[in-house]
């Protein structure tokens, strides 16, 4: 992990999911390669900007729900993405100023912005780790995490729009199990994942096999495969849903599920009796 004195290595010539997501959300922290990649995806799937926005709104609602309804005060947000409006710590600390958050990402640009912009409420703590979700032991053994979060107490693990960047060879289900096994009973898993279940077959095929600049590894999964991430956990109501249908705010516009194509859910690790 670079120290504050080590210049970050930022590659402006290879599209990165965090910067591309920032582009779809209307942000300003992206390069030409990220925009080209984002435009290529949008040409195949015109709903991608809607999907990005709805995924972000799910994050807001779920963090608020865990903080207000379940008393969560610790959050581990892996695959943070670039700062935008209402980041995890801002939502959590709005309702619980003493909330403690650790952000994890593997893009140096994300970490540079995070350290500059994601300032904690004085009653809470916000920290950052340069790491990859594929290596859960590296995250769990990082001194920054252990200095910030108490692993003997419940923690909300956030894996929002990150696991579809892991191939089956990466064994993402094992990654989630390793992370959840290390967390205390009563902890929560908040997860969203792209699906092709609701897309026209041609669209799904082109997203999977199309020549998209900077596409990298991207694997949509079925509802059943995504539900498998919650094995051994107790899903909170309303269960695994298209993210726009998970506790929507009253009066919010209805979005066609096929324009979102992202499942999301929150589950609790059982407390042993």
Say how far apart CA 140 and CA 147 lie, in whole Å.
Answer: 11
Q: Quick one: what percent of the chain has pLDDT higher than 70?
A: 90
Position 273 confidence tier, pLDDT thresholds 50, 70, 90 = low
pLDDT digits (tens, 9 = 90+) for 213-257: 665 678 999 999 999 999 999 999 999 999 999 999 998 888 999
Q: So what's the pLDDT on residue 243? A: 98
Residue 6 has pLDDT above 60, yes or no: no
- With 60 as the cut, is the pLDDT of residue 5 above it? no
In whole angstroms, what is the distance from residue 141 CA to residue 160 CA?
21
Name, in order, each residue with C-beta under 8 angstroms of 77's C-beta and a sequence gap of 6 or more: 88, 101, 102, 103, 104, 158, 160
Residue bearing the bigger pLDDT, 58 or 217 = 58
Task: Give yes or no for a contact between 126 and 120, defined as CB atoms under 8 angstroms apart.
Answer: yes
CATH class of 17-268: alpha beta
Report the DSSP pairing between strands 241-242 and 262-268.
antiparallel
Q: Is the pLDDT at 8 greater than 60, yes or no?
A: no
Q: What is the pLDDT of residue 2?
A: 41
């Amino acid at each position: 992990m670079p120290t504050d004195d080590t210049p970050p290595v930022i590659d402006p010539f290879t599209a990165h999911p965090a910067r591309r997501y920032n582009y779809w959300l209307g942000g300003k922290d992206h390069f030409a390669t990220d925009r080209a990649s984002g435009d290529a995806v949008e040409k195949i799937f015109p709903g991608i900007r809607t999907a990005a926005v709805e995924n972000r709104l799910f994050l807001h609602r779920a963090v608020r729900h865990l903080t207000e309804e379940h008393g969560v005060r610790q959050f581990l947000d892996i695959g943070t993405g670039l700062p935008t409006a209402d980041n995890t710590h801002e939502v959590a600390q709005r309702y619980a100023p003493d909330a403690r958050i650790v952000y994890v990402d593997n893009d140096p640009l994300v970490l540079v912005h995070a350290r500059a912009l994601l300032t904690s409420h004085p009653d809470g703590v916000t920290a950052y780790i340069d790491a990859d979700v594929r290596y859960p032991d590296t995250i769990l053994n990082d001194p920054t995490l252990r200095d910030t979060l108490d692993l003997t107490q419940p923690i909300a693990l956030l894996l929002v729009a990150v696991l579809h960047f892991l191939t089956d060879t990466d064994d993402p289900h094992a990654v989630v199990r390793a992370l959840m096994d290390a967390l205390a009973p009563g902890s929560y898993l908040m997860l969203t994942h792209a699906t092709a279940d609701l897309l026209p077959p041609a669209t799904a095929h082109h997203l999977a096999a199309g020549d998209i600049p900077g596409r990298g590894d991207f694997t949509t999964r079925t509802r059943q495969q995504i539900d498998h991430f919650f094995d051994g956990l107790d899903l909170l109501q309303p269960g695994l849903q298209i993210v726009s249908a998970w506790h929507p705010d009253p009066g919010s516009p209805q979005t066609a599920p096929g324009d979102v194509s992202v499942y999301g859910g929150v589950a609790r690790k059982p407390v042993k009796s």
